[in-house]
Amino acid sequence: MRVRHMLAIHKITEEEATGLELMPTAEEIKNVVWDCESTKAPGCDGYNMNFIKKYWDEVWKEFIEAVLGFFWSARLPRDSNVTWVALTSKFVGATEIKDLRPISMVGCVYKVIFKVLVRRMQHVMPGLVGKTRSAFVQGRKIHDGALIACETVQWVKSRKKELSDN
């Protein structure tokens, strides 16, 4: 009987865990807002990030309070995770369905909450993801591993080779 090597399970440190759970600062939230694409289609809340940036001096308190509300309660604001999918034309004068593309319209508060969490996770993910993993690695898509496996099986079948589990 063969003994298979166990893959080491990596854990985050106490310091990393604490960093993930910190309440975001107003500065952190503002930086995330400014890093968001401004010209995307408005979300289901009717606003895009350009609006939030343009009127930041007027809306920042309420906006930051809405984002912090998630971190205080671990609940998203009502309807903030609603996503609308709409069709937009690829070019002026589009007349057929093939001339349209779907876009996803997500609310600004949801985007910022998500980006705050993603930024924090980016610091701990490299230590959690092994070199043999294909998901959560910068420059790789989550389905790359499956594509490589399928192509390998096809290659083996086309050459009528046998696979060994060595």
Domain ranges of the chain: 14-128, 132-166
Q: For residue 112, give the nearest of 80, 75, 141 by alpha carbon.
A: 80
Q: Which amino acid is at 21?
A: E
Which residues make Cβ contacts (< 8 Å) with residue 50, sequence separation at least 6?
A: 38, 39
Each of the 166 residues of the chain gets a pLDDT tens digit; together they read 444 444 556 788 899 999 888 999 999 999 999 998 877 766 666 677 888 899 999 999 999 998 999 999 988 767 666 666 677 788 888 888 888 877 665 678 888 999 999 999 988 887 777 766 666 677 777 787 788 888 888 888 888 766 665 5
Contact 67, 33 (CB under 8 A): no
The answer to whether 99 and 90 are in contact (CB under 8 A) is yes
Separation CA 24–CA 158 (nearest Å):
54
CB 33 within 8 A of CB 52: yes
